[in-house]
Amino acid sequence: MNSFLYTKSNLNSEAPIVFIGDSQILSGIHPQELEIKIGRPIWFLPRPSEQPEGMLLRWKEYEQKIKIKPSLVVVNGSVFSIADMDVASAHRSLELNYDSFHFEIFTKTIFRNFYLKNISSGLYYLLGRIFPFLRLNASVSTTLKIIGEGDEFSYSEKKIENLLSGNPIEKWRFNLNRNRFLEIEYSKNKGYLDWGKELSYDGVCVPNKNSIPLPPNAEAALNKTRVSSLNAWRELFSYLKSQNVPILAISIPFRPDFEKKFRHLL
């Protein structure tokens, strides 16, 4: 997705404002509408369940591919970006399975310690890029597993079960059409996508009336801080500061019931 956005978005020599962080930063904001009001190019690069380690990787890739110093970098921080809970695991799985290949995951300690739990995870990550289907083979049969990939690849393990059940041709056709829809939406809206909607962006905000209940042990999980996340935040801020890039850190309310229950942790 990173490379897709960098290729499809219009490059402009004018210094842009770059947004990185969890996709919640998109709440109520459309890049094109913001560009008109600010009069400056907007790069929206948030991702679901984003963590500071991922923001650091994403910024490094932006620098390598775009080479345009931004006028401002906007990040959204929340308790989810430092807590040792399922959100971090979800980000790890998405990063290792679906993001661009990052050699820094092997070479930099801050990434290696977070993304690769052991040697087998590293080997699987590498081989999975050489042979993409390896990332989908885990649930076919344990005898077909070349390397034990670990929990961070569990999302793909579930996907293979859905892929192999039913008519594969129909499933592939459905996924192809859905990918084309996503490509059109991302190109047209400069990285913006209404979460969970299968229709083109219409500017209408639809309230979520069926919120998923908060997990019973969420407070305990939120009290656990990931050391690597704090290190990643420090390195990201320190690096941007060394490059004289202004930073704006914001915190967007999650849900009213969440804010009420966990306000003392925020």
Q: Is 30 left (phi over 0), alpha (psi -120 to 50) or beta?
A: beta
Q: Is 89 helix (H, G, I), strand (E, B) or coil?
A: helix
In a domain, 18, yes or no: yes
For the domain that residue 5 is a member of, what is the CATH number?
A: 3.40.50.1110
Global pTM reads 0.75
Is residue 99, in this structure, part of any structural domain at all? no
Q: 49 in a domain, yes or no? A: yes
Confidence (pLDDT) at 97? 81
Looking at the domain assignment, is residue 91 inside a domain? no
Indicate the number of domains in the chain. 1
Report pLDDT for 71. 93
* Residue 260 lies in domain: 1-85+218-266
Residue owning tokens 């939120």: 222
**pLDDT < 50 stretches in the chain:** 1-4, 7, 138-157
| Residue 94 belongs to some domain of the structure | no
Answer yes or no: is 241 within a domain: yes
Question: Is 130 within a domain?
Answer: no
- In degrees rounded to 5, what are phi and psi of residue 165? -100, 140
Q: Which two tokens stand for residue 121?
A: 């995870």
Quick: pLDDT tens for 46-91: 888 899 999 999 898 888 888 888 999 999 877 778 888 778 888 8
Is the residue at 225 inside a domain? yes
Q: What angle do CA 131, 126, 23 make, to 5 degrees?
A: 95
